[in-house]
Amino acid sequence: MKSFRTELENPLVEQDILDLERKIRLFQEGEIHEDKFRSLRLARGVYGQRQSGVQMIRIKLPYGKMTFKQWKRIADVSDEYSTGNLHLTTRQDVQIHFVSLDRTPELWHTLEQDNVTLREACGNTVRNVTASVTAGIDPNEPFDVSPYAQAVFEYFLRNPICQEMGRKIKMSFSNTEEDTALAFIHDMGFLPKIENGKRGFKTFVAGGLGAQPRMADLAYEFLPENQLIPFIEAVLRVFDRHGERNSRSKARMKFLVQKIGFDTFMELVKEEQKALKNTSFEIETAGFDGNEKVEIKEVLPEDLQKFELWKNTNVFEQKQKGNFGVYVRIPLGNISSDDSRTLVSDLSGFVGDDIRVTINQGLMFRNVPKANLPFVFNTLNKIGLANPGANSVANITACPGTDTCNLAISDSTSITYEFEKVIDQEFPDLVKNNDIKIKISGCMNSCGQHGMANIGFHGSSLKSADKKVLPALQVLLGGGSLGDGYGRAAEKVIKVPSKRGPDVLRLLFRDYQETRIEGEYFNDFFERKGKNYFYELLKPLASLDSLVPTDFVDWGQEVSFETAIGIGECAGVMIDLVGTLFLEAQEKLEDAKAVFGKSQWADAIYLAYSAQVNAAKALLLDIDVNCNTQMKVISEFTKNFDANFEEKILRLNKVEPSKDFALDYINDANLFCEETEKRRENLKKEEVLNNA
């Protein structure tokens, strides 16, 4: 592996990159356990692929924003280290695939030269903070949520309270009651409100999709803006301490709230107030005004008819009068590095230097003068990216599926092309329909957000009468946003062989066109007709009586289908290795002492708390007591080893952070870890004597 020294402005990032390089080497030399190493690399945006020996790199773009310079940097990195493809995600990230593990530190270093990060893009951390793509330019927004999303991203990046949680945390900021950032499916979702002339947020918690969708609970009708960061911090502290850590399928915040109840959860959040780093936090909003001066380039559109349709479906006027936002439809979220550089080269200076990745895997240009719209259209059209209907039913959202994902059951990209053919060739008028959203995932985990689609599909399988396995699609209907932070999950209707997926769309569209009431939206149509109506409508397509050989071959494949599922890495793995836990306890103690030296009392206290939990968990594992939450670790250690442990360790949320308390707490933690390791040594000696 190449060894290098970075020259970055941020010494913390520099240390993170060098640390990743060192730990890759230790892993390859057998010094770090595979499970532990997986957790380490995931927190640094390095994700295992379905194909062995290569990695997916997830680039974290807060609320999907990148400059032209950053975009070019990402494109160049994809050429140098990957395949020349940029994959845009539903969480406004960019992913590149097929990267060698050895080269990931070098890749990361290259990105950071333009302030592009991988940190905490994966793993049990605070993931990318998403936001409405029109934030800052929407005529209907109360105020721009971009600075708030940026502040949350910065505050919780590498924050001690959210480095090794039981699972990931997802947050979103919508900018209007339309809720285009989907507050209802997030661990925490925020919508801007103004009350008595003051800014604040309608706040939701504990939403999520996956195999068991849950719509978020309303926490506050109005949370003052200076309470945003403190509230999030308190929630994360509660989730870290009380959240599930053994059963991956039950470790999201939605399951914690289901288990203990919303009211109890909110009481625990309130109990954290005294111990917060900041009980009030003012967020800087300057520099986000959305006004940029760009050059004018007047040309005639090269295809007037196509230009008019594109303008009617993909362009809107901003609140900054005379400037326009332009949506760019990116098929399946995949754009080549060559096309990226073409757009960077041709459009720089003629549109705003603020490009946003959309949650439907597209792009949006901002601050485009009306006079420049034909030039932007021509530039997009020459590389095949001026297709209309960027927010319509024709623009289908899909995860990568079996192309790269370990968990995918079936192909979700090739089937998307087939669906788009049906729409383009048989229902061309739907390119103007923004009511229906089609979303596809390769498995039940909803990375393609099928769980909140008007028409959703996820990969599955069926068995024929002779027990042969064939690829299938679970059909879901009726999901989506209800507005102002509320939504509904799509309902499972029926499962059909994958090769009949296009026929599902044909039946649904024809029935909708022929039997709906004038002006009726699709979800209202679904609700009026009822789930059973659609089951009966699609039932003939589910029959397995007349299967043909091609039904056993998935879309885009040439060989018979097999349900080969790998180990999922979206949330990392649970690390329960005794020696590793003791090592981590010592590392956290050192970190606690380091931040104490910087007068960061709250961080020092929390790191010392985490060190004690790790040490306690290690000793409990040594006596075969496996705990699924930090609170369980604390109670079991109290019961088995030290009757005063719970009272001592939980002082952290009973006392305001101060130098004296932090020093006292760190000293206690240091002594506890030393005594715990000695206890372990004594237990091992007793075991040897007993077995002699």
Encoded tokens for 607: 């790191």
Encoded tokens for 124: 């049990």
Alpha-carbon separation of residue 494 from 116, 415, 539 (angstroms): 43, 17, 7
CB 59 within 8 A of CB 45: yes
Length of the chain: 692
Phi and psi torsions of 261, nearest 5°: 95, 145
Domain 578-691 falls in which CATH fold? Four Helix Bundle (Hemerythrin (Met), subunit A) (1.20.120)
Other CB atoms within a 10 A radius of the CB of residue 358 amount to: 26
CATH 1.10.357.10 fits 397-552, yes or no: no
Low-confidence ranges of the chain (pLDDT < 50): 1-4, 6, 571-576
Q: What angle do CA 244, 249, 255 make, to 5 degrees?
A: 55
CB 1 within 8 A of CB 25: yes
The burial of 55, by beta-carbon neighbours within 10 Å (0-12 exposed, 13-18 middle, 19 or more buried), is given as buried
DSSP annotation of 601: H
CATH 3.90.480.20 fits 1-66+80-122, yes or no: yes
Q: Report the pLDDT value the prediction gives residue 48, as an integer from 0 to 100.
A: 82
- Domain ranges in the chain are 1-66+80-122, 138-289, 304-381, 397-552, 578-691
Q: Report the pLDDT value the prediction gives residue 112, as an integer from 0 to 100.
A: 93
The burial of 348, by beta-carbon neighbours within 10 Å (0-12 exposed, 13-18 middle, 19 or more buried), is given as middle
Q: Report the pLDDT value the prediction gives residue 369, as an integer from 0 to 100.
A: 97
Q: Report the pLDDT value the prediction gives residue 290, as an integer from 0 to 100.
A: 65
Looking at the structure, give the CATH architecture of the domain made up of residues 138-289: 2-Layer Sandwich (3.30)
- Our CA dihedral for 392, 74, 153, 661, rounded to 10 degrees, sits at 160
The full DSSP string for 554-583 is -TT-SS----------TT------HHHHHH
> Which residues neighbour 287 within 8 Å (Cβ) at sequence distance 6 or greater?
147
Q: Report the pLDDT value the prediction gives residue 400, as an integer from 0 to 100.
A: 82
Q: Report the pLDDT value the prediction gives residue 577, as an integer from 0 to 100.
A: 60
Say if 138-289 and 578-691 have the same CATH topology: no
CB 126 within 8 A of CB 395: no
**Tokens 């609970």 label which residue?**
217
Q: Report the pLDDT value the prediction gives residue 558, as an integer from 0 to 100.
A: 81
The full DSSP string for 143-166 is S--HHHHHHHHHHHTT-GGGSS-S
Alpha-carbon separation of residue 520 from 286, 426, 427, 513, 527 (angstroms): 43, 21, 18, 10, 11
Which CATH class for the 304-381 domain?
alpha beta
Going by C-alpha positions, the residue among 248, 255, 190, 260 that lies closest to residue 219 is 190
Residue type, 203: T
Q: Alpha-carbon distance 533 to 639, whole Å?
A: 56
- The tens digit of pLDDT for each residue in 353-388 reads 999 999 999 999 999 999 999 999 999 999 999 999
Residue type, 426: E
- The tens digit of pLDDT for each residue in 238-270 reads 999 999 988 888 999 999 999 999 999 999 999
Q: Report the pLDDT value the prediction gives residue 33, as an integer from 0 to 100.
A: 74
> Which residues neighbour 686 within 8 Å (Cβ) at sequence distance 6 or greater?
none
Full-model pTM = 0.92
Phi and psi torsions of 101, nearest 5°: -55, -40
Q: Report the pLDDT value the prediction gives residue 3, as an integer from 0 to 100.
A: 47
Angle between helix 601-622 and 659-691 (nearest 10):
10
